[in-house]
Amino acid sequence: MTEELTDLLAGSRNLVGRSSTVERVADVLRGHIIDGALAPGARLSEEAIGAALGVSRNTLREAFRLLSHEGLLVHEFNRGVFVAKPTAEDVVDLYRVRRALELSALRGAAEASDEAVALVGASVEMGQRAFDSGDWWGLGTANMRFHQAIAGLAGSPRTDEIVRRLLAELRLVFHVMSAPREFHAPYLEQNKEIHRMLCEGRLDEAADRLGGYLDVAERQLVDAFAELDDPRSQAPA
């Protein structure tokens, strides 16, 4: 069973070249986790992964600690580390924190820098390009960047870091959505609208819009989880 993982990760070995080994290992693993190559719940063997990436167990364990604190891995004492497996409650919690931080940033955006506002616009354009080329996962990425940019309006390094962490966890959640297009596409127009309101200084209005849209997205995800747990639906493993 470790065969597949080993083969999977071996392709990343040549990328390991400079800077801190621990950081690079964490980057590689993070990438494999958020793009689904390492599925939620999968166990990460120290020996197998270490061999696949060509790093020692000590170094690998430090990378595991990093990703555990980012919420992408969970560490069970004397049992190993596993890819985090978010539940419906996690979705609710993630959206609770997002609402608090993103809406607060948007409502206080009168003092935001021009560059921060420009990043919001850039993410909207990126989403449009992804939509035009039918790249639905790219559309999801653009949507992530939109929310990161909204949070960035606060001009707060800690908010940026926290939201980055939340969105990475949310990437894991999105893997339960079987229809990425139908899920992500409707939000492109909403993002455009919110960006417009932002540029016109209608901040409270924009925040209300964003709040409502987060509510809908949350419910959609929770429903998707309920469907998975529900035995009468034909859940594909």
Partner DNA sequence: GCATATTTGTCCGTATGTATA
Partner DNA sequence: CTATACATACGGACAAATATG
Give contact residues for its own copies (rule: CB under 8 A). Answer: 19-20, 22, 58, 61-62, 65-66, 69, 77, 93-94, 96-97, 99-101, 103-105, 154, 156-159, 162, 166
**Minimal distance in Å, beta carbon 158 to DNA?**
23
Q: Would you say 21 or 191 has its CB closer to DNA?
A: 21
Q: Which helix (H) or strand (E) holds 73?
A: strand 73-76
Q: Helix axis angle, 136-152 relative to 114-132, nearest 10°?
A: 170
46 binds, among its own copies, DNA, none (CB under 5 to 8 A by kind): DNA
Partner touching 45 among DNA, its own copies, none, CB below 5 to 8 Å by kind: DNA
Contact at 8 Å (CB) between 197 and 209? yes
Q: Which of 89, 92, 70, 93 is nearest to 81 (CA)?
A: 70
Residue 175 in tokens: 């893997």
Q: Could you tell me the smallest distance in angstroms from the CB atom of residue 165 to DNA?
A: 22
Provide the minimum distance between the beta carbon of 131 and its own copies in the complex, in angstroms, as a whole number.
31
Return the closest-CA partner of residue 13 out of 49, 58, 57, 67: 49
Shortest Cβ 47–DNA spacing (Å): 5
Residue (1 or 110) nearer to DNA, CB: 1
Instruction: Please tell me the distance from the alpha carbon of residue 205 to that of residue 80, in angstroms, as a whole number.
Output: 47
Q: Which is nearer to its own copies, 58 or 178 (CB)?
A: 58
